[in-house]
Each structure stands twice: as C-alpha cells, then as structure tokens.
Chain A
Amino acid sequence: MDFPILSIILLAPVAGVIFLLFIPKDEFKLIKSVAAIALGASFGLTVYTYFAYNQTAGGLQFVERYPWINDLGVTLFLGVDGLSLPMLLLVTMIGFAAVFASWNVSERPREFMILFMLLVVGVMGTFVAQDLFIFLLFYEVVVIPIYIMVIIWGSSKRVTKEYAGMKLTIYLLIGSAFLLVGVIAVFVRALIITGVPDFSFTGLAQVPFPVDFQIYMFALMLLGFGSLLSMWPFHSWSPDGYAGAPTAVSMIHAGVLKKIGGYGLIRIALYVLPAGAQFWAPFMAVLGVAGVAYAAFAALAQKDLKYVIGYSSVSHMGYVLLGIASLNVIGINGAVATMFGHGVMAALFFSTVGFIYEKTHSRWIPDFGGLSQQVPRLAVAFLLAGLASLGLPGLVTFVPEFTTFIGAFKVYGGLAVVAITGVILTALYILRAAANTMFGPKRAEWDHLVDIRGPEMVPLVVLGVFLVVFGLLPSLLMDMVNNGVAPLVAEISDVLQIGGRF
C-alpha cells in the first residue's frame, strides 16, 4: 500500500464536491466540467487498477487498512479482488458517462452534480469496503442523495416522482433494515464464538456459525439484498423508481446500485453463511426464474420506454439470482459477469432513453416511430443497448448469460429452462420497442429533433466500447471475475461438502 489508489478513487469525487461548493451556481459549463473531471479521474484510475491487478497473485490487492473503532473491530479496510474490481469499474464508468448524459440539466445543476457525486462515492465505497461495518456505512450514504434527486429532478408519468422516490427510498431502507439486523446478529454471534470483535468479511467467514443460525441469518440477508436486487416479488420499486428518476440516477441505479444486492449476496451472505445459502438456494432459484419470466412478460405489456427497461432489468436480475443459487463456480461467475454486462447495457439504455425524453418530452412508445431517420446516432445507441439486452453474442452480455445458464442448468435442469425462455421474450419486447420507436415511417412532429452530438456522445462511446470490447474478448472480464469467485467458492464448497467448520 505504497500508493493509496483506492482512497484516491473514492476521494476524487469528494474533492469535486468540495470544489463545486465554491463555484457560483450559474456557471453551468464549469460545474459539469468539474464533475466530469472528478469522476473521470476515478474512472481512469479504476481502469488502471483493473489492468494493474495481478491476476496470478489473486486475492485482495491495493489493500488499505486504517483502524477506526477498535472496540468493535471496525477498520477502514479497503481492497479489491476479482469480484469487486469489475463492479468498481462499472460504477466509475457509469458515473463518468452519466455526467454527460445529464449534460443538459439546467435546473440547479450544481446541487445535482454534488448529490450525484456523493451517490457515486457511496456506491463505490460499498464495493471497495472489506469490512461489513464500512460496507453498511457506504450503503446508507447512497440512500439520501437518491431520494432528493428523484423528487427534485425526476419526472412524473404513471406515478408521481414523489411516489417513485418514496418507494425507492423505503425499499432501500427496508432492505438495509433487514441487513442491519442480520449484520448485528452475525457480529454478536461471532463475538460470542470467537471472543474477538471483527467486522471484516474474511474474519467473519472464518467463524463456525451453527447451521440453524446461518439459515435464519441468510434469510434476513436474502430479503435485504434480494429486495435491493429487485428479486421477485420485491421488485416493484424498480420500474416505478427508474421511471421517476432522472437519467443519471436511473443509470447508476440500474447499472450498479442494484448490483450491490448481488454483490452482497455473494460477498457477505454466501461467503459468511454458506450453510444458509445451501438451504435457501432452491428458493432463490425459484424466485429468480419467476422473476425472469414474470418481468419479461410484464415488459412486453409496457408502452413507456423506461418501464420496458425497468422490467427488463428485473428480468435480468433473475438470471443473476439463478446463477448465485447454483452455488458453483460457473454459475456464480456467470452471475457476477451478468451483473457487469447488464450494468453497461442498462446504463446505455437509460442514457439513450433519457436523451429521447429530453428532446421529445415523451417516453410513450406509440408517440414515436421512424426516429432512426431523424436521430440516427440515438438509434444506434438504442439498438446497441437493445441487442446487448437480448444477449447478442459479441456483446458483453452474451458470455455471462451463457455461463450463468451452464451453471444453473447443471444444477436445476428444467427450472433453468424456464429462465432461458427469457432470451425469446427479451428479444420480443426489445425488438418490439425498437421497431415501434426507431423504425417505420417517420413522423413530422419529430423533424426538428437534433441528434446527439459533442458531450452527449460520451455515454454512447464509453459504454459502447465496453459493450463491444468486453463482448469480443470476454476473457478480459471472465478471468477477472473467476479470479475473485473461484477461491471464494472453493472455500465455501469445502465447508458445504466436508463440513470442515462444523
């Protein structure tokens, strides 16, 4: 830890926030530039970290440890491994792109950017924290900016933005309430068993919790993380929330925030409570499959573009849950990689729809048609995101989904088949939305639209590059993920099969 790169990644947006406080509130360009530079610095450093990570050595790297609350065993313990690096990359990438997707925000841009950067810091923090306490701390940081941003900069369609913001926040809080109970119980129990207070993931994972206890605690964490991951039937915040939220929030939220759920399930619930995971895995699989099919059908019935993507993202999270529930390396690898792929795709999708909405003040599909003739670049972005959503090989989502399916099919057979029908349904709703929005005869009322250009192109370029490059060279992603997942799964499968800890 000669150079505290993770701290700098975390603090760059904070520095941006402090800087923004001293900028007059009507310097629109400058405000956005500062945000872009701050998040860009994080993004650049993360890309560097991603490629500087030593895969042969594996394990936690770039570790930083600052003791904080000794009596509770809390340390400000930062570090990344193959599981958290893709997620960190995702946050910074989407955060950077989202600034440009919000380039035209003209209402209180300074407050917007400050809150947004705090949000990004919170999300980043959850992925680099290696200490349960710090993880929860960052997680709570996330909630407040989201609520404020939704109710100030959001939009009201089917539901009001206040309703959407409230729903989003309450769900997040309910999730964290379940988590908090679970976390405190786990900590206290570990303290009783070992006698040493320790909040770090690795420390907790060494504690031999009784099986009954694990089962109860895993249920709590499944509820907490699951509702964050929009696990069916705790998903209903997702479409409404995304529809109400401003573009940048939708991007971050669908792109990475809900992945905290999946990440937490693997990193905390699975790692610390493997026997609980084994007990609940079939239930998770059923909920995942139900989510895939159910949300895909629901997406088919939508007429609002954001609702289509909202339900679509619920459906994709079903794959993640299914992958995790398979409890083998392949399935969990697939789940993590699917989270990454879906994040890039969803962010691009939301930014595109955000631009459409900004330019037309509509997201209602029947209002559109033939937009590809008026805004061809937006059509490219739309189609790219759509094709990634339906898992087209050569884009970042395909290999992860395939891997998930292998892992799940091995374990659950017929149940997994139901989830795989998702590929058909996804194609159906995505292509329907694309056809009715982008193709067909053009409409005169949209002739005045100006295509995206300049800074507005950044989301398309940045996210598009990752979509294609990680799609064509999946080992860039899969090797990294496997590097994080394989040791973790090896450790828990020892426990599950041999019963080493009991």
Chain B
Amino acid sequence: MVEFSMTHAWLVPLLPFLAFAVIVFLTRPWKMLSALVSVGAMAAGFVISAYAAYGVFTSHSLIEKSLEYSVRWFSMPGLNIDVGVKLDPTSAMMLFMVTLVASLIQIYSIGYMRGEKGFSTFFAYMSLFGASMLLLVISSNLLEMFVAWEGVGLCSYLLIGFYNHKISAREAAKKAFVTCRIADFGLLLGMLALQIIFGTLNITELGEKIANFELYTNAATLTLVAVLVFLGPIGKSGQFPLHVWLPDAMEGPTPVSALIHAATMVVAGVYLVGRMLFMFLEVPEAQQLVAVTGAFTALFAASIALTQREIKRILAYSTISQLGYMMLALGVGSLTASMFHLWTHAFFKALMFLAAGSVLTALHHKADIWEMGGLIKKMPVTGATFAVGGLAIAGIPPFAGFWSKDEILSLTLSGGHPVLFFMAALTAFLTAFYMWRLIFLAFFGKEKPENHPQESPPVMTVPLLILAFLSLVGGLVGTPWFPFWGEWIRFGEFHHAAPDYTVMILSVILGVIGIGLAYKMYVKDVSAEQRLAERFRPVYTLLYNKYYIDEIYMWFNHTLVDGAAKAMYLFDIYVVDGIFINGIGAITRDTGSALRVFQTGRLQNYALVFFLGVLAVAVILAITGPAPAGLVWGGVR
C-alpha cells in the first residue's frame, strides 16, 4: 500500500476531480449523496496521502532526490512540458496536511451548509478546489503548478462569489480574481523567462541548471526573473501590496474561508517560493525582497487587525500577517521554518475560522465582535477550541504556533536581520493582542440579551476538536529538542541549532503581555479602546480604514484604467471609425454625388460629349500624325 501510494500519488488530486465531475453531472439533485461523494474522495485522498507520507518519511534518500514521474503534456521543438508528480518530504507533508484539513472542513461543511440552496454545487466546488490544490502540491513542473494555481484561483473566485446574489460577494470574487491575475502576470512572465533561458520548467531540472546559472544568463537577469516569479506569490499569498483581496474574500461561506483563504490556497504562494527557493538563494537581492515583503506584511496586517470589528475580517488580516511570517522565513533562507509555520498555521487558523463559522451560525451571521460577548457559556466547545487557536497563534508553549514562530524569530535574528527581527517580534506582540481582543470580546465579558447562541451540532464540533488537538500537538514534531521536522523538510544541509532560549523567552513574554493587555482593555476596562481611539484619532482612523489602500486602488481603477478604456473607445469611434472608415466612405459618396450631375439622362447630351471626344481624338491624331503603335501597346508590352 505504501509503495502503491507513492507511485500513484496522482490519484490524490484525481479523486476529488472525479468527485467534482460526478457531482456536477450526476448527483447534483441529491444533496447528501453529493456531500458524501466529495468527502469520500477527499478522505480516500487522505488515506493515500498518509501512506505516501509514511513512505516518504521513512526513506532518507528522498530528502536529497525527490521521487519523480511524469507524462508528456504537450511538446514541440524547443518546448516540452511534462506533467508529473514530485514527491519529497515537503510535498508529502503538504499532501497530508491539505487532505486532512480539507476532509475535516468538508465534514464540518455538511453541518454548516445545511439547508443552503447550492449545497451540492458547494461540494462540487470544494472538490474541484481540492483537486487543484493537491495538483499544485505534487506538481513537478512549474507550468503544471501554474495550471493548478489558476485552478485554485478559479475555485476561490467561485466560492467567494458563492452567495453571488449579494453585490458584495460578487465584487469580492471579482476583486480576488483580478488581483491574483495581476500577480500571475508577473509569475507568467517569470515562467516564460525561465523557459526561454533554461529551456525547461521542470522544477528539479531548473534546480540543477540554476545552480550553475552563469552558464545561461547573468545575475541581474536572474534577479529580475526571481522578482517576477515572486509577484505571483505576492498576490496569491496576500502579501503587501496585493493583499487587498483576502479580507474581502471573507464574503464566501466560512468553511471556504477556513480551507481556501486560511489553511491551503493562500499558502500556495509560500509553497511556490519554497519550491523555487534554490533560485532565490542564488540572487540575494530577490531573497532580501522576499524577507522584507514578508516582515512588512506581517506587521502591516497585524496593525490593521487591531482595529477591525468583524470577526472574519480580523482573522483574515491575521492570516495575511502569518503568511508574512512564512515569507520572512523563506526570505532568510529557511524552508524548514517556513513550512513548519505553514503546517501549524493551517491547523490553528482553520480551527479559528471554523469556530468563527460556528459562532456566526449561532448568531445568524452577525459578525461584529462588539455585538457578541460571553459566548463561551452557551458554546463551550466552540469557545474552548477558539481559545486553543488563540493560544497557538499568540505563541504560548506548548501550542503549535509557539514552536514555528519561535523558529522564524530566532532564524531571523541569527541570520543577521535585526530590523526584520524587531518587526517580527512586534508583530508577535500585536498578534497576541488583537487575537485575544477578539476572544475576550466575543467569548468572555457580558452576554448580550439579544443573542440566543446555541452550540453547534457534533458534525461541526468534532472537526473543531480534532483541529484543536492538532493545534496543541502539531508543533511537537519540530521542537528544538526533537528536530524531526528540520531533518526532513529542508533545503541544503541540516543544521541542528541549539535552542535559543533568549528568543524563546522573549516570544513567550511578548505573547503573554499581548494577552494580558487585551485582558486589561477588553475585560477589565471595556471603554479603554474608545479612549485610546479618541486620543489617537488619526492613527485609529488610518488603521480602521486599512491605510486607505482599497480607496487608492479604486481610484486608480476607476480613474486611470476606466479613463484609458474610455479614451481608447472614443478614439475608436471618432478617429478610427469616424475619420478613417467613415471618412473614406464619405469621400466615395461625395465624389459620387458630385459626379452624378453630369448624368443628365438626356441622350443628346451624352451623344454630344461622345462626339466631342471623337473630335478631340481626331484633332490630336491630325496634329501628331499617324497613331504611333507604341502609344497603344507600349504600356502593356
């Protein structure tokens, strides 16, 4: 079975894809059946992934040289594209994580989506998403990855716009797609350049060739290519300045936010950079860009999250911020730390989103955390699991987030990036604060009489419990004392660094202070935020309005892009059409009407002209003598 799973890893994406086809064409009228098909396919994928992961994590040879097999997708002279499977610890871990989280979230969705109109459609989309995401994970070829990349983008579009009768959902979906498209433009250019320079898009081959890139190109070009490639992840993983779509993506159903916009799809960008890390490590400027973008995004998004009021929006900014961490880790050159944070984040962020979904269901989609309060009494499981997620993200040991975040922090410091370390540490503090602000406001404090919350059914709470458990123990695979993770998932040599207790203690302190401050401001003294907001009104407004980035883009889009569009169209109508096309038409017509006055219709006039013509010829001939033969024939001969 292990052998089978490793050589048939392509089944993992294929099964959900078949599920998609089956639901769309066959089982759509039967809701439960559709859900079962979808969950079943994903669960089967999970089983295969688990076996494959077991196989990978027991054969040491796969760390250095991944297991690869492929078939030709299309080819022509000078362009051969294969699609295939690249199985190594990183992709095996992703397969395992994605199928696990996706299965749990799909099970949860059965409860969450109950009674929705597009129940089957929802599961079809979820399956399609799973298929694309898993294909992305196992891709051995950048173009194959790009196909899956756009596939997840499409599913994200469809699922954000799932409630597309709402204008906000439809606009959010469009925004997500277009924003990612802008980023993909860069990625596409980068891929074109890679293909042209190195003649392949196979990741392994690229790795070999880029190691000696001087043979093919110069460093400046490769830096440019790396930056172009990095543009794609900036969009997909919601990095500044293309993060704007991710908060709006919360218009989709909550399981979608959990699966796509927290746990899996948005980390695709991180994963891609991780896959192409060999390229970024060759060009330090590009790597620097990754690190700075990551650190800045982490801090930037965390600062916005401080003031937001909607529960899912806070989680969305938190996701952006955590993705920044992952990018930072890659930027300082550590695949290990980045993938580790990706792994733990998937669990605790999925957990928090699902818990938020549970809250939203209970409160009939009232999203403002200021209108919640004391929910933990009525919803103990949801509240407790959410708190576990909160502890994990705040970096409190032994919860999962602590280990991964700690590793990123210590690597940043030891890698010689004090400024980035400061930004990351500050973010850690802010994260603890805003996340516990949410928890205290929503789950603790006074109950609101107008709310009548009820705990969700087991089909929803059981996945929560499983994810809470994973958030608790998920980080134990990579502690400084038991560096299993670093041994397997890495780029380059394995360094077993001694535990850095300074950073560790610092990060715990920051987390605790953040939680404590939140407790003081939102449990002890509820009006504190009000007072602070009054005092720092401009800052608060700026943060609350997300630095007005959306407004700037809107202005850009509506003024410049639409203006240019209008200009081109008017040019088309008035210049190309008006002057040239219709102008030529008008000239023809006017010439005709000028000439038609000669058509008197009187035969005798015609005959007169005819006679004068003959006379003229005769006179000319009489003057010039006999007709020279050349006059008639010379033009032809």
Q: Which residues of A contact B (CB under 8 A)?
A: 167, 233, 235-236, 240, 294, 297-302, 328-330, 333, 370, 372-373, 387, 390, 392-394, 398-399, 402-403, 405-406, 409-410, 417, 420-421, 423-424, 427-428, 431-432, 435, 438-442, 474-475, 478-479, 482, 486
Contact = CB atoms under 8 A, between A and B. Distances in A.
Contacts of A442: 165
Contacts of B193: 409
Contact of A236 (B161, B170, B566, B577): B577
Contacts of B562: 300-301
Nearest to A237: B581
Nearest to B557: A428
B132 to A, nearest CB: 9
Given A373-B165, A394-B147, A428-B561, A329 B77 contact: yes
B358 to A, nearest CB: 28
Contacts of A417: 189
A406 B79 contact: yes
B576 A236 contact: yes
Interface in B66-121: 72-79
B621 to A, nearest CB: 33
Contacts, number: 135
A440 B178 CA distance: 18
Task: Give the bracket for the number of chain B residues in contact with chain A.
Answer: 35 or more
B151 A421 contact: no
A398 B81 CA distance: 13
Interface stretch (B180-188, B209-217, B285-293, B434-442): B180-188
Given A301-B562, A387-B154, A330 B78 contact: yes
A439 B177 CA distance: 15
Contacts of B427: none
B561 A478 contact: no
A423 B185 contact: yes
Interface in B363-402: none
B182 A478 contact: no
A292 to B, nearest CB: 12
B564 A297 contact: yes
A478 B77 CA distance: 11
Interface in B122-152: 143, 146-151
Contacts of A301: 562, 565-566, 568-569
Contact of A398 (B147, B170, B564, B568): B147
A167 B73 contact: no
B79 A431 contact: no
A297 B569 contact: yes
Top 6 closest pairs, chain A to chain B, by CB: A300-B565, A393-B147, A301-B569, A301-B565, A297-B568, A439-B164
Contact of A441 (B167, B177, B564): B167
Nearest to B181: A427
B76 A440 contact: no
A294 B568 contact: yes
A486 B77 contact: yes
B196 interface: yes
A399 B399 CA distance: 45
Kindly name the residue among B151, B171, B561, B581 whose own CB sees the greatest number of chain A CB atoms within 10 A.
Answer: B581
A329 B78 contact: yes
B195 interface: yes
Interface string B562-584: 10111111001000110011000
A299 B149 CA distance: 26
A441 B169 CA distance: 11
Contact of A372 (B143, B146, B164, B564): B164
B229 to A, nearest CB: 14
B309 interface: no
Interface of B: 72-79, 143, 146-151, 154, 161, 164-167, 170-171, 173-174, 177-178, 181-182, 184-185, 188-189, 192-193, 195-196, 561-562, 564-569, 572, 576-577, 580-581
Nearest to B150: A393
A236 B572 CA distance: 8
7 contacts: A233-B576, A330-B76, A406-B192, A420-B192, A427-B178, A428-B178, A440-B165
Nearest to A442: B165
Contact of A392 (B154, B561, B566): B154
A423 B564 contact: no
B188 A423 contact: yes
Kindly name the residue among A298, A373, A474 whose own CB sees the greatest number of chain B CB atoms within 10 A.
Answer: A298
Given A330-B79, A439-B161, A423 B572 contact: no
B189 to A, nearest CB: 6
A390 B154 CA distance: 11
A441 B178 contact: no
A285 B361 CA distance: 56
B76 A486 contact: yes
Nearest to A471: B147
Contacts of A439: 161, 164-165, 170, 173
A258 B496 CA distance: 64
A302 B581 CA distance: 20
Nearest to A370: B165
B78 to A, nearest CB: 6
A432 B558 CA distance: 13
Contacts of B151: 393-394
B577 to A, nearest CB: 5
A443 to B, nearest CB: 11
A475 B581 CA distance: 42
A42 B196 CA distance: 41
Given A420-B188, A431-B177, A478 B165 contact: no
Contacts of B188: 402, 405, 420, 423
Given A294-B568, A421-B185, A424-B185, A432 B581 contact: no
A276 B444 CA distance: 79
A251 B165 CA distance: 30
A333 B185 contact: no
Contact of B76 (A233, A302, A393, A482): A482
A474 B73 contact: yes
Contacts of B167: 440-441
A32 B22 CA distance: 33
B195 A406 contact: yes
A478 B581 CA distance: 38
Nearest to B72: A475
A405 B189 CA distance: 9
A299 B590 CA distance: 33
A472 to B, nearest CB: 9
A126 B192 CA distance: 34
Given A236-B572, A423-B188, A440-B164, A474 B74 contact: yes
B160 to A, nearest CB: 11
A119 to B, nearest CB: 24
Contact of B74 (A328, A394, A478): A478
B46 to A, nearest CB: 24
Given A406-B79, A440-B165, A420 B154 contact: no
Given A403-B76, A420-B189, A428-B178, A393 B565 contact: no
A478 B76 CA distance: 8
B478 to A, nearest CB: 34
Contacts of A423: 181, 184-185, 188
A405 B161 contact: no
A479 B174 contact: no
Kindly name the residue among B78, B184, B185, B572 whose own CB sees the greatest number of chain A CB atoms within 10 A.
Answer: B572
A368 to B, nearest CB: 13
Given A405-B192, A420-B188, A486-B76, A393 B568 contact: no
B174 A432 contact: yes
A440 B170 contact: yes
A403 B565 contact: no
Contacts of A486: 76-77
Nearest to A328: B78
Contacts of A233: 576, 580
Contacts of B184: 423
B196 to A, nearest CB: 5
A394 B74 CA distance: 13
Contacts of A435: 170-171, 173-174
